Structure 1
Amino acid sequence: MEQQQLKRCPIGVQTFEKVIEGNYLYIDKTEYIYRMAHGASNYYFLSRPRRFGKSLLVSTLHSYFAGKKELFKGLAIEKLETEWTEYPVLYFDMSRAKHVDKETLESMLGFQLSGYEQIYGRPKEAVKLNDRMTSLIMRACEQTGRQVVVLIDEYDAPLLDVMHEEENLPVLRNVMRNFYSPLKSCDPYLRFVFLTGITKFSQLSIFSELNNIKNISMDEPYAAICGITKEEMLEQMGGYIERFALSQEMSKEDTLLKLQEKYDGYHFAWPSPDIFNPFSLLNAFEDGKLNSYWFGSGTPTYLIEMLRKFKVSPSAIGMKKALSTSFDAPTERMTTIVPLLYQSGYITIKNYDKLTQLYTLDIPNGEIRVGLMQSLLPNYLAGDSDTGLATIGEMYGAIAGDDMDGALRLLQEFLSTVPYCDNTNYEGHYQQLFYIIFSLFGMYVDVEVRTPKGRVDVVMRTTHTLYVIELKLDKSADSALAQINLKNYPERFVLCGLPVVKVGINFDSESHTLSDWIIEG
C-alpha cells in the first residue's frame, strides 16, 4: 500500500511539464529559478556533471518564462512570483550534436533554428548560422512585443568527444563560436540567457565577446541548484527512504549511511550542503538496490583518453589541494587533468582553507571510486577485466575473513594466466594494481604513505585490520619485510586502534606475477 502512495521517480524524464502533469516526484528547485530571473544579471552559465538535473532545470526555466503558472502550483515560486509574463523562448539542445563532424554539426544547428524560423520567419539574406540566429531573436522580439529568452542545454556536447583531438577541436569550436556570437550583439532584444554544460571552455574561444555572462557554477547561493541535498531527501523523500530500508532489511539510520557512502559527497562551492547524485539516488529508490547507476550509465571515452594523455595513475586521481583557478578553469587550456575531473564529477570539493585559498578535492563517494577503478583496471590486466573482477571478488571474501594469504594466492594464480601487460617492469605498476584492487573492495587504501623514516608502498584498512604492505620487484619477500622492520613503518599507525599486519611481497618480472610473500601479525 505504501509503495502505491509514492509518486514515481522521474527516471529519464527531463521535461518539467511531463514531471508535473505525470505526477512524478519533483524536488522543488523553483526558488533558484526566481532568484536567477530577478537577479542582477540576465546572462547565466552553470556547469554540472552529466545526469545531474541540468536538463530538467532548463526545462523548468522554459515553463516559467513561457508563463505556465498552472504547472508551479504548490511550489516555492508560486508564493514569490506575481507577474507570470509570457516571453518568446528559444531552446537549443546541444546533446543531439555528439560524435559529429563540421558539416553534420552545422546541419543539426540549422535544423534547430529552422523550427523557430517556421514560427517567426527567415529573411532570404540570412544564410549563415550567426545571421539566422540574429534574425530569429530580432523577429521573435518584434512580433511578440517582448524580449526573448534563450536557453542552451549542454552547450559543450559537440566538443567533449574531440577534446583530446588537436585537429578537430578548433574546427568545431569555431562553428559553436559562430553560432553563439549573436547573444552579445542582440542584448537589447534579450530578456534572459542561460547555458548549461559539463566543462568550462574559455569565454574567448566559445562565446566570442560574451563577457557579461555570470558563471554561477561555484556560487554559494546556487550550490544546490542541481542534485539532491540531504535536507531535501529527508523532507521530500521520507517514504522512499522507508521503503528502501525495508527492501534492504536495514534500519532507517543504517540505510541513510549506506546511501551517503554510495551516492553523497558532492560540493560545488564552499560552504555547501552535501549533495547526492540525483540520477543514482532516484534509480536506487526505484529499484530498491544499491547499484552503480551514474557510472554504469556510461564512462565517457574522452575521460579515459585524457587520463592516458596526462599519464595519470589511479592513486593520483583523488585527494589533492588546488586553487579554484586550477580546477574551475577552461578545459581547452588545461595543463593537468584536474579541471576535467572536477567539472565532469569525478572529484569534488571536500574542504576550503580561507588563509591559503586552497580547496581540497577528492573522489565524491563509493560509486565513483569503484567505477573509476573498474574503468582503469583493463590497463593493468591486459584487458582481461571480467575474469579479474571475479578474482577480485574472491580476494575480497578472503580478506574479509582475515585470509590475506589466500587472497594473494588468488592474485598470483590470476596474474600468471593473463597476457603480458606493457610497462610492468617497475614496482609502481604493481603498486597501482594493488591500489585499484583494494579500492574495488570499498576499503580505505593509500600509497606512498609518509612515515618518520620513509614511505610505505601500500596501506590498506579493513574494519578490523590495518595492512602495511611493501612491494619489491625481482628481489625477495624477505627484503620487503626487512624494510618494513628496519624503518619501523607500523609505528606510524600505532594509534589507529587496529592490529597492524605486515606484508612483504615480491614480484617476478619474467612471470609477471607474485613470486613469494611473507605475512606477519
Structure 2
Amino acid sequence: MKKRIPSKSSNYASLIEENAYYVDKTAYIETLESISDKYIFFLRPRRFGKSLHLSMLEHYYGIQHKDKFDELFGQYFIGKPGNTTPLKSSYYILNFSFSGIKTQEPENIEKEFNSEVSSQIFKFLNTYSIGTEEDSRVFEGDLSSPDLMRKFFTLFKKNVPSGKVYILIDEYDHFTNELFAFNRVHFKDVVSRNGWVRKFYEVIKQYMGEGIVDRFFATGVTPVTLDSMTSGFNVAQNITLDYRFHAMAGFTEAELKGMIENTVHEKGKFDINAIVSDMRSWYNGSKFSKDANERLYNPQMVISFLAKFSDRFIYPDEMADINVTSDYKKIANILAPLSHDDSDNIISEVLNTDRITERLTIQYNFELPYTKTEAVSLLFYNGLLTIESAIVSMYNYVIPNYVMKQMYWEFFRYKFTMEKELRYDNTKIDRSIMQMFIEGKIEMLVEYVHTILKNLSNRDLQKFSEKNIKMIFMTLLMGNNAYFVKSENENNEGYADLLLIPTKLNPGKENFLLELKYLKKSSKVDLEVAKNKAVEQVSKYKTELASEGIVCRTFAIVFVGKSEYVVAEVF
C-alpha cells in the first residue's frame, strides 16, 4: 500500500497516524545510546529535519507513549525484535522550542523566553499529572527562566523521586543567532557569565549532576551561542561533525528513492532514476563531515518538489521552496561584520568558482576578531556552503546544489542593484531568455547587459573587468529556472566563461556557450583583436564539449566600456 508524501509537520505521531511516509532514522537511537555522551548538541541548517527527529525521540522515550509503542515504531528499525533498547518509554520528556521567539524588540526577548519555559513546564505537569493546582500556580509569577527551572526540578524531585528527565530543545540558538546578526552587544549580554541564557543552562547542568536530568538533546544551526556559554555548560558534546551522525537529518539518495517508490511512483508514468538525477542537481550536495561517504538531500526541498510533481507528474515552475530561497539575506547578515574588501572577496570567489578554501571555526571567541574564517564557517553551518574535502585543517567548501547557487546570485543581484542604484526589468529579462530558447539568439540578453553598463557611473567602471561582465550576465540568468548556468566550466582547453544547459522546465533543447571580453576603451584594431581572440578561445571549448556530446550555440561577446559591444556567433 502506498503512503502519503509527508507534510511539513514535525510531529512524529501525526506522520505515522496519517499513513505518511517516514524516512526511517530510528537506528540512530541505538547509535546515540552506544556513545558515552548523554548530553548532546546537534547542529544542522534550518528545515533539515531536526524538529521531526526530536519528536521521534520524544515518542520513543516518553513514558506517556508506552501504550502506543508498537503502533508508532513497529514498522521501523527500532521497533523490530532485538533492536529496541532498554531505555524505551522510560523518561519524562521536557520539551522546549525557541524558534518562535521574536527579536525585533530586544528588551522583550527574555520575557518571551521565560514564557516558553513556563508554558512547557505547565504542559509537562499536566501531561504527567504532577503536583497540585497550588503547585502549578508557583510558575505563574514573574520568574526568570533559571528560577522557573529550579522550582520545576524541586517539584519534580518531590513528586517523582526516582524519575528521570530527558530534555529536548529545538532551535536552541534561533533568537541568539538573530541577535548575533543585528545586535552584537545584546547578544554578549544574554550569553555572558551573568547572562540569563547562560544561567538557564547552568541550572540544567546542576540537575544533571544530581541525576534528575539523565539525557539532553538540543538542536540548532550554529555553534556561536554554544561556544559563548561553554564554561557554564561544559557537560554537553557537540556531535555535528561526527561522521556517525552525518545522515541523522537529511536524506541519502537511497532514502530519497525509497520515498519516491513508496509514495508517488506509478509504473510507466516516469523513470525514478531520471527524476532522481534531476533532483540531485537541485537539492543534493550537503556534506557535514569530512569523513562522510555520501551527500545529503535537503528534506524540505525534496518534499515540496514531490508534493507538486505528484499531481500530474510534471515539474513545477518553481523548483525551489520559497521558504528556503528567501533566506538569501542571511548571507548579508553573516558577511556584515567583515570589512567591505573581505566580504566582496568571499562573494567574488564563491560566485566565480563555486568554491572557497578556508579553515573551519569550531569554537567562536568574541574576544578575538571576526574574520573571513568565521564568516565562511557560518556559511557552512547555515548550509550555504558544504564540505567537498579537507586536508589537515584546511577545508575545501563548495556550493551544495543549484538552489543554494541561485540564493547566492539572488543576494549578489540585491547587493549590486542597491549599491549601484539600479532597477532590473524582469519582463525584459524574461523576454531575453525566451528569445534564447525559442529562437536560439542572444541579442536581447546582450543588449540588456549593455543597458546595465550604460547606467553605471564612470567610477564604477574604473576597476571593471571580464569577471564583472560575467557576474552581470549571471544575475540575469540565475533568476529563472530555464538554464543550469555553469561559470568557469573546465575542460582540456581551459575554462569557458559561461555554459548554459536547459533544465527540464525549458522547452528549448539548445545549450549555449559564451566567451566574454571587456575593454575599457579601444580602437577598431583593438576591438577586432579582442573579438578574434574570444572566437579562437571559445572555438576550442566548443570542440572539446562536442567531443563529450555537449553541442552548443556558441558566441564570442566583446564590450567596450559602456559605449559599444560586438557579438560573433561561432559555427
The verdict on a shared fold, with TM-score over 0.5 as the criterion, is yes
Q: 2:401 corresponds to which residue? A: 365
Q: Which amino acid aligns with 1:201?
A: V
Q: Which amino acid aligns with 1:134?
A: R
Q: Among 351, 357, 373, which residue is 2:389 paired with?
A: 351
Q: Among 77, 81, 86, which residue is 2:90 paired with?
A: 86
Cα distance in structure 2, aligned partners of 1:407 and 1:489: 21
* Residue 183 (str. 1) matches residue 221 (str. 2): no
Q: 1:106 corresponds to which residue? A: 110
Cα distance in structure 2, aligned partners of 1:167 and 1:19: 42
Contact 1:66–1:85 under 8 Å retained in 2: yes
- When residues 390 and 345 of structure 1 are mapped into structure 2, their CA distance, relative to the original with a 3 A threshold, is farther
Q: Which moved more, 1:343-352 or 1:5-14?
A: 5-14
| Cα deviation, residue 262, structure 1 | 1.3
Q: Which amino acid aligns with 1:515?
A: E
* Residue 407 (str. 1) matches residue 410 (str. 2): no
Contact 1:93–1:153 under 8 Å retained in 2: yes
Q: 1:43 corresponds to which residue? A: 39
1:455-496 Cα shifts (integer Å, max 9, x gaps): 989444546453221123344786366357569755884644
Q: 2:78 corresponds to which residue? A: 77
| Cα deviation, residue 137, structure 1 | 3.3
- When residues 419 and 489 of structure 1 are mapped into structure 2, their CA distance, relative to the original with a 3 A threshold, is closer
Map residues 93-492 of structure 1 onto 2, 5 A cutoff: 93-118=97-122, 119=125, 121=135, 127-144=143-160, 145-165=162-182, 166-173=184-191, 174-188=195-209, 189-201=212-224, 203-240=226-263, 242=265, 246=269, 251-269=271-289, 270-288=291-309, 289-290=315-316, 291-297=318-324, 298-299=326-327, 301-310=329-338, 311-312=343-344, 314-317=347-350, 319-322=354-357, 325-326=359-360, 328=362, 330=364, 334-336=370-372, 337-353=375-391, 356=392, 358-382=394-418, 387-400=424-437, 401-413=439-451, 423=460, 425-427=462-464, 429-440=468-479, 442-446=483-487, 458-462=497-501, 464-475=511-522, 479=526, 482-483=529-530, 489-490=537-538
Cα distance in structure 1, aligned partners of 2:458 and 2:232: 49
* Residue 515 (str. 1) matches residue 564 (str. 2): yes
Contact 1:153–1:196 under 8 Å retained in 2: yes
Cα distance in structure 1, aligned partners of 2:34 and 2:74: 20
| Cα deviation, residue 32, structure 1 | 0.9
Q: Which moved more, 1:368-377 or 1:219-228?
A: 368-377
Q: Which amino acid aligns with 1:74?
A: Q
Q: 1:65 corresponds to which residue? A: 61
Q: Secondary structure at the match of 2:396?
A: strand
TM-score (norm 2): 0.77
Q: State the superposition RMSD in angstroms.
A: 3.7
- When residues 35 and 421 of structure 1 are mapped into structure 2, their CA distance, relative to the original with a 3 A threshold, is farther
Cα distance in structure 1, aligned partners of 2:30 and 2:185: 42
Cα distance in structure 2, aligned partners of 1:481 and 1:518: 11
Q: Which moved more, 1:220-229 or 1:390-399?
A: 390-399
Q: Which amino acid aligns with 2:285?
A: G
Q: Secondary structure at the match of 2:529?
A: helix
| Cα deviation, residue 234, structure 1 | 1.9
Cα distance in structure 1, aligned partners of 2:484 and 2:19: 40
Q: Secondary structure at the match of 1:57?
A: helix
Q: 1:15 corresponds to which residue? A: 11
| Cα deviation, residue 21, structure 1 | 2.0
TM-score (norm 1): 0.83
Q: Which moved more, 1:381-390 or 1:69-78?
A: 381-390
Q: Which moved more, 1:175-184 or 1:438-447?
A: 438-447
Cα distance in structure 2, aligned partners of 1:49 and 1:292: 19
Q: Which amino acid aligns with 1:167?
A: V
Cα distance in structure 1, aligned partners of 2:523 and 2:335: 33
1:324-372 Cα shifts (integer Å, max 9, x gaps): x52555396641221121111111123345xx45432111112221233
- When residues 421 and 390 of structure 1 are mapped into structure 2, their CA distance, relative to the original with a 3 A threshold, is farther
Cα distance in structure 2, aligned partners of 1:309 and 1:398: 42
- When residues 322 and 426 of structure 1 are mapped into structure 2, their CA distance, relative to the original with a 3 A threshold, is closer
Contact 2:328–2:411 under 8 Å retained in 1: no
Q: Which amino acid aligns with 1:81?
A: T
Cα distance in structure 2, aligned partners of 1:334 and 1:474: 40
Q: 1:506 corresponds to which residue? A: 559
Q: Secondary structure at the match of 1:163?
A: helix
1:202-237 Cα shifts (integer Å, max 9, x gaps): 544134432232211111111111111111122343
- When residues 169 and 485 of structure 1 are mapped into structure 2, their CA distance, relative to the original with a 3 A threshold, is farther
Q: Secondary structure at the match of 1:149?
A: strand
Q: Which moved more, 1:194-203 or 1:442-451?
A: 442-451
1:401-458 Cα shifts (integer Å, max 9, x gaps): 5423343124335666x79799455315444222333444643433699999xx9894
Cα distance in structure 2, aligned partners of 1:480 and 1:176: 64
Cα distance in structure 2, aligned partners of 1:31 and 1:388: 51
- When residues 258 and 328 of structure 1 are mapped into structure 2, their CA distance, relative to the original with a 3 A threshold, is farther
Cα distance in structure 2, aligned partners of 1:279 and 1:477: 54
- When residues 99 and 424 of structure 1 are mapped into structure 2, their CA distance, relative to the original with a 3 A threshold, is farther
Cα distance in structure 2, aligned partners of 1:389 and 1:331: 44
1:117-155 Cα shifts (integer Å, max 9, x gaps): 542647799943223323423543453222211111101
Q: Secondary structure at the match of 1:33?
A: helix
Contact 1:149–1:193 under 8 Å retained in 2: yes
Q: Which moved more, 1:183-192 or 1:405-414?
A: 405-414
Cα distance in structure 2, aligned partners of 1:232 and 1:448: 31
Contact 2:146–2:196 under 8 Å retained in 1: no
| Cα deviation, residue 267, structure 1 | 1.4
Q: Secondary structure at the match of 2:305?
A: helix
Contact 1:161–1:302 under 8 Å retained in 2: no
- When residues 300 and 157 of structure 1 are mapped into structure 2, their CA distance, relative to the original with a 3 A threshold, is farther
Q: Which moved more, 1:311-320 or 1:440-449?
A: 440-449
Q: Which moved more, 1:271-280 or 1:147-156?
A: 271-280
Contact 1:438–1:460 under 8 Å retained in 2: no
Any stretches of 5+ residues in structure 2 without a counterpart? 126-130, 310-314, 502-509
Cα distance in structure 1, aligned partners of 2:382 and 2:59: 27
| Cα deviation, residue 244, structure 1 | 11
| Cα deviation, residue 162, structure 1 | 2.6
